Structure 1
Amino acid sequence: MRLADFILRNIEPILEQWEAFAASLLPAAKNLDSIALRDHAQQILQAIAHDLTMPQTRDQQHQKSLGRAPRLIGATETAAQTHAVLRARGGFNINQLAAEYRALRASILRLWIDQCEPVAPHLDDMIRFNEAIDQALAESVSFFSTQVEQAHNLLLGMLGHDMRSPLQTIQMTASYLAALNAGEAVSDAAARLIRSGARMQTLLDDLCDFNRTKLGLGVNITPRDVNLADVFADVVDQLRAAHPGRQIDLEVTGNLQGYWDGQRLQQLLGNLVLNAINYGAQDAPVRVVASADNAEVSFEVRNMGPAIDEETLEHMFDPLQRGPGQNAVSDARAGLGLGLYIASEIAKAHQGSIYVRSDRTETAFGVRLPRRA
């Protein structure tokens, strides 16, 4: 018996095995009824059976084996794609999704081969069937991953939005306590709250900016005429106060007037200087060197320390990256690993560029910005 005919004639026994296996995928399947457990399985089987009966060139066969079958005309989603979306929303993980197809493949082939005995099954049917299963799996995994990523981005957006109000309350209360002059103990506690609140605000801002970039929105900027000499002086003063044990030098040459978002460039420079403070030599100064010509302004943040290898340099501005040997649990300096990534996105939003160079003498992060993007 040809495999397509076997699938269509035996859909119910196949679906029973699919349902039984899906019910074992706990905890997601715990409260699902039979209809939910079988979700789109019948349509997937019918699509596979239909595919087995259609003529196919060698190139089409190869493309399908890579999960690149042509889209159906007039269909927004295949059954496999819809199945993946519903499984993702139902709390299944990607390993459980793939396991469903693995079990489906094994059960159909086992039942079909038993039915064919003593006649040998058609080898071409078996090859075509595996290609169809692989195509359905590829469609499911792609849609599942997209659905999970969208859910994560939505969660990050909601988290960032909902955390702002309680954090502002904490910061305002800490400032009120500091203004009371109620004794050294209260003042010290209020100062710690203010520092911690500022640190949390920075992490939250990075998280929100990262979420915007993942959604394809980019970092939001509001350009106006600003003088970066004043902007950078303010940033350096704040960082000197926050890190009294470190020397931070600012050297400015030329006219740094331009059309930018001053607060965003404060954030950019702050991220670069904090990176230098955290990972550079602790007994050497951090230098901020800014210069300008008629078309653009450029600045570098330079620090002494071990040279960074080429492989690390290539991924320096990737999100969720930290310095060598750093982890968020064991090192108090480690943040979310977003500082340099956010800095690169701010430069990009201004139609500028960012780069890094490193050798045995120093490491430098540099930015070039057109005066008016």
Structure 2
Amino acid sequence: MRLAEFIFRNMETILAQWEAFACTLLPAAANMKSSALRDHAQQILEAVAKDLSVIQTRDAQLEKSKGRAPVIIDAPETAAQTHAILRARGGFDIKQLAAEYRALRASVLRLWMDHCPSDELDMDDMIRFNEAVDQALAESVSLFSEQVDQARNLFLGMLGHDMRSPLQTIQMTASYLVALNAGDRVASAASRLIRSGARMQSLLDDLCDFNRTKLGLGINIVPASVDLAAVIRDQLDQLRTIHPDRQLDLTVRGKCDGVWDGQRLQQLLGNLVLNAIRYGTPNSPVRVIVTGEEADVCIAVSNSGTAIGPVAMEQLFEPLKRGVDHGEGYDEDSHLGLGLYIVREIAKAHGGEIQVHSENGETVFTVRLPRSR
């Protein structure tokens, strides 16, 4: 008996084995009814059987085995994709989802081999069955991952939003304590709170911005006419307060007015300068040079220190990648590895670009921004 016919004739037996296995996938499967345990299993099996029934040339089969099957544009959601969505919402993890397909593959082939004499088994059916199951698995895993990513990003978005109010309260209370002039011990403790709050705020901002990009929203900017030199001076003054032991030099050349989001560019500069402090030689200055040209403005942030290696250079702007700290006063958990990624996204949002050169003991990050977009 051909495998497609066997599947249709023995659908209930196969579904019963699917259900029996699905109920072992705890804790998600606990208290689930039979219909939920069998979710879309019959439709998946029917799709596999129909695929086996379609005449397929050797060339077409070869292309399909390599994952190059024709993609139907604007096709409705497949049973495997719907199954993945419901499993994700039901609390299953991706290993349990894959295990369902592994068990399905084994049970169908075992039942077929037990039912038919070995000389009546069609090896081509077996190969095409495995390909069809693999296709369904790929569809499920892809959409399951999207559902998990979306749920995680929504959670991070809500977490970031809810953390802002208590953090602002801590910072305002610390500023109030400093203003009281209640003695050196209180002032010192309040200053530590302010510095820690600023670091937490920076981490929170980076996390929220990263979350926006992963949701496909991009970095949000509100452009206005600004003097970039004034914006950068203000940001450097804030950074000098946080890092009084480091020398931060600024050089401005030419006209620096344009249409940008001033706060976003302060964030961009802050991330570049903190990166230079973190990885540069502790006793050397961090140099910021702003150069106004005819069509755009260039911001260069440089530091002395160990050159960036070729491997690190390739993933420099990738999110959640962290180098080895060379600066003093930093621990590995003080940043998320999002700083340079956020810098690149802010530059892109302004229609600009960023480049990096690292050689002969000096590293220079250069951001070029058009005056208007």
Question: Shorter-chain TM-score: what band?
Answer: over 0.9
- 1:73-108: CA deviation from partner (whole Å, max 9, x where unpaired): 885211100001111111111111111111111111
Equivalent position amino acid for 1:128 in 2: R
User: Does the 8 Å CA contact 1:65/1:135 hold for their aligned counterparts?
Assistant: no
CA pair 181-73 structure 1, distance change in 2 beyond 3 A:
closer
Equivalent position amino acid for 2:55 in 1: P
1:360 aligns with 2:360: yes
Q: Give SS of 2:83's match.
A: helix
CA distance in 1, matches of 2:163, 2:66: 43
What 5-or-longer segments of structure 1 have no aligned partner? none
Aligned residue for 1:83? Answer: 83
Q: Give SS of 2:120's match.
A: coil
CA distance in 1, matches of 2:132, 2:60: 11
Equivalent position amino acid for 2:21 in 1: F
Aligned residue for 2:166? Answer: 166
Q: How does 1:275-294 map to 2 (within 5 A)?
A: 275-294=275-294
CA distance in 2, matches of 1:352, 1:305: 27
1:9 aligns with 2:3: no
Aligned residue for 2:226? Answer: 226
Aligned residue for 1:55? Answer: 55
Q: Give SS of 2:354's match.
A: strand
Q: How does 1:327-346 map to 2 (within 5 A)?
A: 331-332=331-332, 334-346=334-346
Aligned residue for 2:143? Answer: 143
Report the alpha carbon displacement of residue 136 of structure 1 after superposing the two structures with TM.
0.6
- 1:294-347: CA deviation from partner (whole Å, max 9, x where unpaired): 111112111111111122112111111111379xxx925641111111111111
CA pair 10-292 structure 1, distance change in 2 beyond 3 A:
same
Aligned residue for 1:207? Answer: 207
CA distance in 2, matches of 1:355, 1:118: 64
CA distance in 2, matches of 1:99, 1:171: 49
CA pair 159-60 structure 1, distance change in 2 beyond 3 A:
farther
Equivalent position amino acid for 2:145 in 1: S
User: Does the 8 Å CA contact 2:325/2:332 hold for their aligned counterparts?
Assistant: no
Q: Give SS of 2:115's match.
A: helix
CA distance in 2, matches of 1:333, 1:93: 28
Report the alpha carbon displacement of residue 59 of structure 1 after superposing the two structures with TM.
4.1
Report the alpha carbon displacement of residue 169 of structure 1 after superposing the two structures with TM.
1.9
Aligned residue for 1:311? Answer: 311
CA pair 270-38 structure 1, distance change in 2 beyond 3 A:
same
User: Does the 8 Å CA contact 1:68/1:135 hold for their aligned counterparts?
Assistant: no
Q: Give SS of 2:234's match.
A: helix
1:96 aligns with 2:96: yes
- 1:167-219: CA deviation from partner (whole Å, max 9, x where unpaired): 22222222222222333332222222222222111111111111111112111
CA distance in 2, matches of 1:161, 1:63: 48
CA pair 367-193 structure 1, distance change in 2 beyond 3 A:
same
Q: Give SS of 2:323's match.
A: coil
Q: Give SS of 1:127's match.
A: helix
Q: Give SS of 2:302's match.
A: strand
Aligned residue for 1:175? Answer: 175
**Which stretch shows the higher mean deviation, 200-209 or 26-35?**
26-35
Report the alpha carbon displacement of residue 228 of structure 1 after superposing the two structures with TM.
1.3
Equivalent position amino acid for 1:99 in 2: A
- 1:208-260: CA deviation from partner (whole Å, max 9, x where unpaired): 11111111211111111111111111122221221111111111111111111
Q: Give SS of 1:18's match.
A: helix
CA pair 206-30 structure 1, distance change in 2 beyond 3 A:
same
What 5-or-longer segments of structure 2 have no aligned partner? none
User: Does the 8 Å CA contact 2:290/2:298 hold for their aligned counterparts?
Assistant: yes
CA distance in 2, matches of 1:117, 1:214: 53
Equivalent position amino acid for 2:226 in 1: V
State the identity %: 68
CA pair 84-67 structure 1, distance change in 2 beyond 3 A:
farther
Q: Give SS of 1:220's match.
A: coil
TM-score by length of 2: 0.94
- 1:243-288: CA deviation from partner (whole Å, max 9, x where unpaired): 1111111111111111111111111011000000000111211111
Q: Give SS of 1:150's match.
A: helix
Equivalent position amino acid for 1:337 in 2: G
Aligned residue for 2:192? Answer: 192
**Which stretch shows the higher mean deviation, 105-114 or 164-173?**
164-173
CA pair 60-146 structure 1, distance change in 2 beyond 3 A:
farther
User: Does the 8 Å CA contact 1:273/1:286 hold for their aligned counterparts?
Assistant: yes
Aligned residue for 1:256? Answer: 256
Q: Give SS of 2:361's match.
A: coil
Q: Give SS of 1:173's match.
A: helix
User: Does the 8 Å CA contact 1:84/1:97 hold for their aligned counterparts?
Assistant: yes
Aligned residue for 2:24? Answer: 24
Q: Give SS of 1:318's match.
A: coil
Report the alpha carbon displacement of residue 291 of structure 1 after superposing the two structures with TM.
1.0
Equivalent position amino acid for 1:264 in 2: R
User: Does the 8 Å CA contact 2:227/2:257 hold for their aligned counterparts?
Assistant: yes
Q: Give SS of 1:258's match.
A: strand
